[in-house]
Amino acid sequence: MPLSAIKLAIIGLGYVGLPLAVEFAKQRKVVGFDINPARIDALRAGHDATLEVPDEALRQAGGLSYSANPQDLAACNVFIVTVPTPIDAYKRPDLTPLLKASETIGKVLKKGDIVIYESTVYPGATEEDCVPVLEKHSGLKFNADFFAGYSPERINPGDKEHRVATIKKVTSGSTPEVAELVDQLYRQIIVAGTHKAESIRVAEAAKVIENTQRDVNIALINELAIIFNRMGIDTESVLEAAGSKWNFLPFRPGLVGGHCIGVDPYYLTHKAQAIGYHPEIILAGRRLNDGMGAYVVAQLIKAMLKRRIVVEGARVLVMGLTFKENCPDLRNTRVVDIVKELADYNISADVFDPWVDGHEARREYGITPIDTPQPGTYDAIILAVAHQQFKAMEPGQVRALGKVAHVLYDLKYVLPRDAADLRL
C-alpha cells in the first residue's frame, strides 16, 4: 500500500488520539472516531475539554472529520487505536476498551487493511489479545489478509513543549514491509524522527518500561524522603546538593498517579507473573508509591496534634486534584488517597482545583470541588498539585486560608522552604 493510498482513521479522541489526529490532518484526510457522542459534538463545535489541542488548532484542522458512527470507518484502510488501557480495582490490566475497539474495527476490516495500536499494553498483547478479536469479527487471516503495527504513544498531558511531532516515535509492524510503511506514515508528522523496532513485542516492551523505570526511581526518592524526614533533614536540600553532580537523576518525591506511571508497571508485572516470574523491585516500588497518600496524612495528623489542633471534625483544604500540574486530567490521581485517608479520621476535606471539571470529579471520585476557599476556615492546608495559579500566590495568601492555628503541608515545593510547616 503506498502512502498516498492510505485512508486513515483514529479510534479514540482523548489525550492521545486527538493531538495525533490533528497532526495527521495537516497531511491527509482523517476520520476521528470516538464512542462518546458528547465528545464528538464538543469537537465539532471547536473545543477540546482536555485542553491538549487549542480551539484555534481545531478550527484549522480542515482535513479532520469526527464521527461516533462505526459505519463511517468502513471507507478507511489504516486504523490507529488510541483508547485507554486502565487497571481494575485489583490492579489488573483492563483491556476492555482495547478489545471493544478491536471488535469495532474488525467489523469493517477489509483485505489489505492495517491496524496500528498506540495504547500501552504488556508485550504480546497486540498479537495475542487484539489480533484474534480482529480475526473473529472480520473473518480474515492475520498477516495474510490484514496486518498490524504498534507505535506506543508518548503524550505528556499538559506539556506544551514536548508535543506529538517533537517526541521521537517508536514504530513497528507485523511484517518487514508493514513495519516500513508504518514508519513512513509516522515520519510524515514526527519531526523528531522515528525508531523502527525489530518487532511489535519489542515496541510494546519499550513503552511499558519507560514509565516503569520512572516509577521505580520516584519510589526510591519517596523512600529517601521518608528516611530524611525521620532524620530531620530537608529532602529538597539533599536533592539540590546531590544534583550538583552531572549524572544525578533529577527525580522528586510525591504522589504518583496519572494514566501512565501509576498504571503501566502493573501491565508488565501482570505479564511477568503470567510467565512464572514474580517481579520484586517493580512491585516494591508500586507499593511504596501507592502508600504515599497515607504517609502524607499521617505526617499531617502528627503535626496537628503537636499544635494541639483537634483532629476530630477538623477542616482541611486540599489544593489540587488533578494528577499533575496545569492540566485537567483526573485519571488515576492519587490526591484522592489523601481525601479518603482524611475521611477515615473524620476530617472534612474541601478540594479546590481551578483546572478541574466538577461534573467529572463527582462522576469519577464522588468529590465535589469548591469554587473558592474562604479565608480563616481551615485547620490544615495541603498544597497537593503545583498549578500555576498556586505558584502565583504569595505564602501569606495561602496562610490566610487557615485559622490562626493551622498546619501548612507543601507536597510540591510550591512555596519557599521556610514558608511551609511540612514538606515531603
Which amino acid makes up residue 349? A
| Integer angstrom CA distances of residue 31 from 10, 130, 136, 209 | 6, 21, 24, 31
Q: How is residue 219 written as a grid cell? A: 519510589
Which amino acid makes up residue 351? V
Q: How is residue 57 written as a grid cell? A: 488548532
- 93 bridge partner residues: 87
For the chain, counts of helices (H) and of strands (E): 16, 13
**Catalytic option among 76, 130, 260, 327:** 260
Work out the burial of residue 57: count CB atoms within 10 Å of its CB; fewer than 13 is exposed, 13-18 middle, 19 or more buried.
middle
Cα distance between residue 81 and residue 339, in whole Å: 34
Cα distance between residue 6 and residue 348, in whole Å: 56
Q: How is residue 122 written as a grid cell? A: 504488556
Cα distance between residue 190 and residue 19, in whole Å: 12
Cα distance between residue 207 and residue 10, in whole Å: 20
> 155 near 15, Cβ under 8 Å?
yes
For residue 302, the surrounding DSSP H or E stretch is helix 292-306
Q: How is residue 305 written as a grid cell? A: 496534634
| Integer angstrom CA distances of residue 392 from 371, 387, 397, 410 | 18, 9, 10, 14
- 79 bridge partner residues: 9, 115
Cα distance between residue 170 and residue 157, in whole Å: 19
327 catalytic, yes or no? no
Backbone angles phi, psi at 291, to 5 degrees: -95, 0
Integer Rg of the chain from CA: 23
Cα distance between residue 110 and residue 122, in whole Å: 27
For 210-270, strand residue ranges (E) read none
Q: How is residue 100 written as a grid cell? A: 471493544
> 148 near 127, Cβ under 8 Å?
yes
> 383 near 389, Cβ under 8 Å?
no
* Active site positions, annotated: 260
